[in-house]
Structure 1
Amino acid sequence: MSKMLAEIREQPTALERTLKAELRGFERLRARFEKERPRLVVLAARGTSDNAAQFGRYLIEVTTGIPVSLAAPSVSTLYHSNLRLEGALLAAVSQSGESTDTNVVLEEAKKQGAFTIGITNEPESTLARIADHAVLVRAGREKSVAATKTYTGQLLSFYLLAYALGAKIRIDDLRLLPDLAAKALTLEKEVAARAEKYKYARHAVVIGRGLNYANAFEWALKMMETCYIIAERFSQADILHGPIAMVEPSFPAFVLAPPGPTWPVMNEMITKLSGLRAETLVLTDKSNAEAPKSALRIPAKLAFKPGKNGPALPEDLLTPIPYIIPAQMFAASLSAVKGLDPDQPRGLSKVTLTL
């Protein structure tokens, strides 16, 4: 068994450990932000961490109304331009905490008046040391080059950050996530069987929308890293603005289709792909009765229903973590089917240093 697959299986425990250990720190942040709410949130990251940041952007804007920007590190590292960040919150995300350009962005943000948070899996890292507040993803050492358990830990950290920023997310709801991750893991055998069909795939598209848009990027990245598939990733809206033209009969298409606000447009996308005779794999869950019978279903009802007196939060609020796990398992399985080693992708190392 690959290290990647072993680490995918560790995610329920890692999520539970992270939530338990980091909650007190986020309660302190919540008290701080109640007194002085950031006018803007800026997120800095690269690679898989950047996909997690994309999720953070959607989540924070949807649940708090605070504008969120994804940093362009080259503005600081290559153009040496100073951004005016007084009253802003800068959150830098890095699995290793040693991503050079991400750390430069964080240091520059501190100089320009931002309060800074560092989200990392490494407590002794540069990022953890230089941030005003360090958030530790308690995933344990990740040995596979392809990040899996650190990604879901970062997603959980963004739920907690949204909570700290005033989102009406309940901690009791977040405590459901380890169990939902465990439910997703039960699909391992079915996912491996489904992967066999794509053994000779060289190109693919992955399509998402809203809170699962980031997962489209992450699923595609995992296939690029571990299976050497040229996997393009799009929102359901963007693919219709031109790229849909490349889809032809038997073209592999992977669709993240949870219940909730994005389902109507994702359903239209599934119908269009069917008309084009694409080789489509739809990922959904037990609560989505309208999804195709051929869909890969997480055996849990993930449609989020707030309590009678609870906040009006999106129905797909809790889907991103359980939805990425079958995608991770798919990439690991397909890599094995292709006779590749998902733990040591060619040309890659665990820590990438860029400026």
Structure 2
Amino acid sequence: MLREMEEQPDAVRRTLEALLPLRSEVAGLFAGRRRVLFVARGSSDNAAIYGRYLLETHAGVVGGLAAPSVATHYRSELDLTDTLVVSVSQSGATEEIVATQDWARSCGGATVAVANVADSPLVRAADLALVTAAGPELAVPATKSYLAQLVAMAVVATALAPAPTALDGELGLVAGEVERLLEQRSGVEEAARQLATTAYTVVSGRGLMMGTALETALKLEETCLRPVRGYSYADLRHGPISVVTAGMTAVLVAAPDGPMLAPMTELAGDLAARGATTIGIGGDAGFAGACSLAVAGPDLPEAVAPMGAIVASQLVVEALARELGLDPDNPRGLAKVTTTDPAS
């Protein structure tokens, strides 16, 4: 897992090189359509959440997340003639995602497949394939393939934006920031030691960082076998914050700028007042100061910050697994290809 995490700067560079030239083809498929629907499960679903937020905040295009069971179990006939359907799967072989993509085409949708395996069923059946260039991933937890999916989400969103190249400068900074985070590991070991001693953990983020928060929670659960809940800032505020007490640890992820930074900083103070230990990932100096422990995040603007912030989270997860004496490469009960119950 650690070795593949360290390959991520090159994975980012290769994926940008491979996919940026395809933006015009993405835009061509979207021509005459109004919305984008993402189809995914697991970590890929968290990548799709970032894609949806970036699509709506940067490109001004309506996005949504599909429920695959609508296709595979309910077999609903929807009108998708105004929809570009983006199916996301690391392996490109998850049966449910492949079936949902086929269903989307039968409903009139144009289809884009995002996968890390070129010769995969999802890629072969799509109108357009965005094959990420992460390289083979041997560890079960998705790290470099997940980050490459985030790059692909940025390619889709920028392709449909009024100015497709507007974020190219920021995208060009991502690989270097990932290299810096991997080298410096600021706050990583301290965060892992704290998480090893806590009985219950919550993870929260908002907006463009929401997918990062949910992916962090998922990685803590599946790799470190810890009971973790991932919440959006709004959902945590709505009610679950009432059960936050002393002895709990809250992991908060934030970008270094943007409209969600101040609310996340305020949340850190509120959780600390309730007795929780707070671990901040990313943010700015004020956010770090409001948290009990701080893990350095990327110096990237909010639109692309999730690509760096997830690397900081991955470092904490890998360090925690070692702290707990677990094998981060092969978590108990997990397989590389996602499976769900078969369609009836």
User: Aligned with 1:80: secondary structure?
Assistant: coil
Name the structure 1 match of 2:179: 182
Cα deviation per residue 1:33-85 (whole Å; 9 max; x = unaligned)?
Answer: 4xx24211100000000000111111101112221110001111111112110
Name the structure 2 match of 1:214: 211
Alpha-carbon distance change, 257 to 300 in structure 1, aligned in 2, over 3 angstroms: closer
Cα deviation per residue 1:228-281 (whole Å; 9 max; x = unaligned)?
Answer: 111101111110111112211120110012222101211110110110121110
TM-score by length of 1: 0.91
Moved more, 197-206 or 157-166: 197-206
The one-letter code of the counterpart of 1:240 is: R
**In structure 2, distance between residues paired with 1:21 and 1:245:** 47
Name the structure 1 match of 2:18: 21
Name the structure 2 match of 1:231: 228
Moved more, 249-258 or 168-177: 168-177
Name the structure 2 match of 1:310: none
Superposition RMSD on alpha carbons, in Å?
Answer: 1.6
Name the structure 1 match of 2:286: 290
Name the structure 2 match of 1:6: 3
**In structure 2, distance between residues paired with 1:336 and 1:189:** 17
Gaps of 5+ in 2: none
**In structure 1, distance between residues paired with 2:298 and 2:230:** 26
**In structure 2, distance between residues paired with 1:200 and 1:298:** 21
Gaps of 5+ in 1: 305-315
Aligned residues: 336
Cα deviation per residue 1:131-164 (whole Å; 9 max; x = unaligned)?
Answer: 1000011001110110011111111101110111
Moved more, 255-264 or 47-56: 255-264
**In structure 2, distance between residues paired with 1:53 and 1:300:** 20
User: Aligned with 2:286: secondary structure?
Assistant: coil
- The answer as to whether partners of 1:18 and 1:153 remain within 8 angstroms in 2 is yes
**In structure 2, distance between residues paired with 1:180 and 1:29:** 27
Name the structure 1 match of 2:99: 104
User: Aligned with 2:204: secondary structure?
Assistant: strand
Following TM superposition, by how much is the alpha carbon of 1:100 offset from its aligned partner in structure 2, in angstroms?
1.0
After superposition, residues 29-108 of structure 1 pair within 5 angstroms as: 29-30=26-27, 33=30, 36-108=31-103
**In structure 1, distance between residues paired with 2:71 and 2:258:** 38
State yes or no: 1:336 paired with 2:322.
yes
Following TM superposition, by how much is the alpha carbon of 1:297 offset from its aligned partner in structure 2, in angstroms?
4.8
Alpha-carbon distance change, 228 to 346 in structure 1, aligned in 2, over 3 angstroms: same
| The one of 172, 189, 203 aligned to 2:200 | 203
User: Aligned with 2:333: secondary structure?
Assistant: coil
**In structure 1, distance between residues paired with 2:228 and 2:51:** 23
State yes or no: 1:278 paired with 2:264.
no
TM-score by length of 2: 0.93
Identity level (%): 37
**In structure 1, distance between residues paired with 2:227 and 2:110:** 38
